Amino acid sequence: MKKIILLMNANQRKKIFKNDDLDQLSKFGEVSCNPDEKDPDTERAKELVKDANIIITSWGCPQLNKEILDQAPNAKLIIHAAGSVKGIVSDEIWKRGIRVSGCAQALGIGVAETALGFTIASMKNMWKLAQNTKQGKWAEGRNDVREVYSITVGVISAGRAGAHYIKLMKNFDVRVLLYDPFVNEKKAAAMGVEKTDLNELLKESDVVSIHAPSIPETYHMFNSETLALMKDDAVLINTARGSLIDEQALVAELKKGRLFACIDVTDPEPPTEDHPFRSLPNVVMTPHIAGAVTNGLNRIAKYAVNEIRLYLNGEAMDGEVLQSAISNLA
């Protein structure tokens, strides 16, 4: 019988995995859970993973290095019930031929839905209109309302979240542009989008939604030069990573009143109490809630359970991560 260990602390596990999820896992093998309320360090992880065949990690788990994996010589699969797997993988995993799957797809759904919400609310000018009505006004600002219709939406990266955002946007009568060096023309056409370069996308788009990973090549890809290319009254949405935007450059553009920004992530987090994002009238900032936060966390559990089912049935796992792809992940 397979031995399955849930390595994350007990509080984290209860937020993600419900009793019915644990029942499903028990059909695959003997399930063991970390009973501790604090995150496991390397020494504790060594104790917990002993003789495990399948290790389920999440936020707060240590990197699975040689020390830890030596205690689980028969480990064949690691499921990361969180976002990026970068924090838990090590070279030792690949040396041992252990397969790795992440739940970024499950998280990406919530991120994409948040970006869609930002898109609709911003185009409708809901943020400003809601403030106006609270101040006793009524019709002021109605002329600034735009529909998500016959506009151009630019998407930066068609990874898990970006691809789902594109799928959602296909329900609207809009033109969708894509900038993603890893997507070829054929794949872009199959997705129903127009592949273009970054500069052209910024010049053409009424809404720009960022879904790229935080890697050296994307650091401050939105800077004074690229932001200056954006159309007046364009909406910039960032539900990806704060490091993709040069915040000083964006503040400078926002102070001109040219753009509207929806910011869910900053660099660093949280931003300082006097950060201009907190006070500028043409910014909506949320505290990194685009991905799963409360009830949405259970989507991760369902996804993780299904990945194990696929693995045990000898089928391809939807979220499998290969060593060659690690450098391009968020």
For the chain, helix, strand, coil in percent to 5 are 40, 15, 45
Choose the catalytic residue: 13, 164, 241, 253: 241
Amino acid occupying residue 97: G
DSSP string, 209-256: EE----SGGGTT-BSHHHHTTSPTT-EEEE-S-GGGB-HHHHHHHHHT
Choose the catalytic residue: 147, 225, 269, 315: 269
What CA–CA distance (Å, rounded) separates 250 from 204? 18
Choose the catalytic residue: 44, 96, 146, 288: 288
DSSP string, 252-310: HHHHTT--EEEES--SSSSPPTT-GGGT-TTEEE-SS-SS--STTHHHHHHHHHHHHHH
Would you call 288 a catalytic residue per the annotation? yes
Would you call 241 a catalytic residue per the annotation? yes
Would you call 269 a catalytic residue per the annotation? yes
What CA–CA distance (Å, rounded) separates 139 from 249? 33
Helix (H, G, I), strand (E, B) or coil at 20: helix
Q: How far is CA 3 from CA 68, 69, 89, 253, in A?
A: 16, 14, 20, 55
What CA–CA distance (Å, rounded) separates 260 from 278? 13
Sign of dihedral through CA atoms 105, 111, 117, 119? Answer: negative
Do the bridges between strand 152-156 and strand 54-57 make them parallel or antiparallel, or are there none, so unpaired?
unpaired
Q: Which residues are marked as active site? A: 241, 269, 288
